[in-house]
Amino acid sequence: MENIPENGPSKRKLGLFDAAMLVMGSMIGSGIFIVSADIMRNLGSGYWLIMVWIITGVMTVAAAISYGELSSMFPKAGGQYTYLKEIFGKMMGFLYGWGLFTVIQTGTIAAVAVAFGKFTAYLIPALNDAAPLFQSGGYKITWIQILAIGVILLLTYINTKGVESGKLLQNVFTGSKIIALIGLIILGFLLVKTSFWSENMNFGWDAFNNLKTDAVGNFTKSGWESISGMTIMGGIAAAMVGSVFSSVAWENVTFVSGEIENPKKNVVRSMVLGTSAVMVLYLLVNFIYLNTLGRDGIAFAPNDRVAVVASEQIFGNGIGTIVMAVLVMISTFGCVNGIVLAGARVFQTMAKDGMFFKAALENNKNGVPEKSLWMQGIWASVLCLSGQYGNLLDMISFVIVLFYMITVFGVIYLRLKKPGLERPYRTWMYPVTPIIYLLIGAAFCILLLIYKQQYTWPGLVIVLLGVPVYLFINKKEQQA
């Protein structure tokens, strides 16, 4: 890292391939295997399921292309935090970093690690059947949560051994899950006995939702209602909460810019290549869902695990469950590793600016921010025990998109305010690309504010709680 006191050297050890693997590995977690159930419940048609993923894909790639310009201008560690701080000032950078530490990065680590635990329980039923270690009313600590914490602490430890250790793990696990997903996509068309593709496509652009639940909270299969007009728009926004959350974390590669070879070129290349490849994979996986399962099969998959039900249709009940459980375990393990590796660099950069604990500042003898890694790992473990990360993450998609929008707007703002700055990479199809993102992002946020307020206010409150914290830290810094 530039200008950071350290006990060991920090060399550029990540090439373009490593950076692209980090992008893809951080994006592909557990979401793609689950969230299509909720999308189908909100919109009820194969056409709309595909459309939600296409909109999310266009949005994600447009943001990555726009971020490329900023990554070439500020090729330092800290990524999005650095961009926001340089363009809009320290407070905006801090609020992003605050949100990242309190819930965005750590909450994602917790949620994906728990998903690893839940799918491990498919292979080891004793994990599911074991009595809770602690229970008080509705709150309990289970062996699945303990396994999730074990994964977080193990991957944190491995990453303290140097970038090479984290990189090797990332490349192996990301490569494995990409090969496995491609295999699933091919076999999903070759082996399936009954195709539901025509049935799912027969609804055309008609939209339906089925969000009614019975007394115990299970969705009722007979509750499909035709929807139109603005109700469809609200349904799209609600459906996109899942697809957007499954498609974030690609910007994690910007957090480790300080360790990437030729960051002015390789960061943007890795973001555009990685996001494009993942969104194509996501689309093809949804084609498999539509080919192997009917509308009710997708919408009401047990525990929303659409991929497990689809896999059972392809491989048969026993083998299908095992195949999918192993794939999700590989996927989530690699995803946690990528997010652990990247996040700690932001908190280290914040510490350099006096905006985080000073202990996070130093690198260890392996050239990595060990204390920052452990702070992140411990807080993510606390969130695992809280059991609230799932709710937090539903609520935080709104805030993530809001910060993406502010950052993408930063590209336009800098072009207008400082046109003379050196831009080694210039956003492709500027200003169309950033404007596309801003329009889709604004529509998503406005529709959520109107129709699904439970997804918006809690995330905003968490970020705004950072304002008094920033003022307190800033006051102490000025006094010092």
Quote the pLDDT of residue 291: 95
25-34 mean pLDDT: 91
Can you give the pLDDT at residue 9? 43
| pLDDT, position 23 | 95
Residue % of the chain over a pLDDT of 90: 60
Over residues 451-472, mean pLDDT: 87
pLDDT band of residue 8 (cuts 50, 70, 90) is: very low
* 10 vs 337 pLDDT, higher one: 337
Q: How far apart are CA 82 and CA 266, in angstroms?
A: 18
Over range 380-389, report the average pLDDT: 83
Q: Which of 211, 220, 241, 200 is nearest to 35 (CA)?
A: 241
End-to-end C-alpha distance for the chain, whole angstroms: 25
Is the confidence at residue 390, as pLDDT, over 70?
Answer: no
- Rounded CA gap, 298 and 306, in Å? 6
Crossing angle (nearest 10°) for helices 143-160 and 317-352: 50
> In this predicted model, what pLDDT tens digit does every residue of 69-117 receive, in sequence order?
999 999 887 889 999 999 999 999 999 999 999 988 998 999 899 889 8
Helix (H) / strand (E) containing 139: strand 139-141
193 or 370, higher pLDDT: 370
Q: Is a pLDDT exceeding 50 seen at residue 1?
A: no
Token look-up 């709309």 returns 48
- Please state, for a pLDDT cut of 70, what percent of the chain lies above it: 95
Which residues does 466 contact at the CB level (< 8 Å), separation at least 6? 94, 95, 98, 99, 102
- Do residues 334 and 116 touch, judged by C-beta distance below 8 A? no
pLDDT at 127: 83
Instruction: Select, from the ranges 55-64, 245-254, 321-330, 381-390, the one with the highest average predicted confidence (pLDDT).
Output: 55-64
Tens digits of per-residue pLDDT, 235-278?
999 899 889 989 989 999 999 888 899 988 999 999 999 999 99
Q: What is the mean pLDDT of residues 1-6?
A: 38
Report the chain's mean pLDDT, rounded to a whole number: 89
Name the CA radius of gyration of the chain, rounded. 22
The pLDDT value given to residue 12: 62
* Residue range 150-175, pLDDT digits in tens: 999 999 999 999 888 888 999 999 99
Q: Is the predicted pLDDT of residue 393 greater than 80, yes or no?
A: no
Q: Which of 179, 102, 113, 110 is nearest to 332 (CA)?
A: 113
- Check residues 218 and 468 and name the one with the higher pLDDT: 468
pLDDT tens-digit series, residues 299-354: 999 888 899 899 999 988 788 888 888 999 999 999 999 999 999 999 999 999 99
Residue 391: pLDDT over 90: no
DSSP helix/strand/coil, 194: coil
Q: What is the pLDDT of residues 181-236, one digit of tens each?
A: 998 899 998 988 899 999 999 999 999 988 877 766 677 777 788 998 888 999 99
pLDDT at 392: 67
Q: What pLDDT, on the 0 to 100 scale, is given for residue 124? A: 87
Task: List, in order, residues 6 or more apart from 360 with CB less than 8 Å away.
Answer: 344, 347, 348, 350, 351, 369, 371, 372, 375
Q: Regarding predicted confidence, which is higher, 221 or 428?
A: 428
E strand or H helix at 24: helix 16-27
Cβ-Cβ contacts under 8 Å for 350 (sequence gap 6 or more): 78, 81, 93, 94, 97, 356, 360
Calculate the CA dihedral of residues 95, 100, 102, 108 and round it to 10 degrees. 150
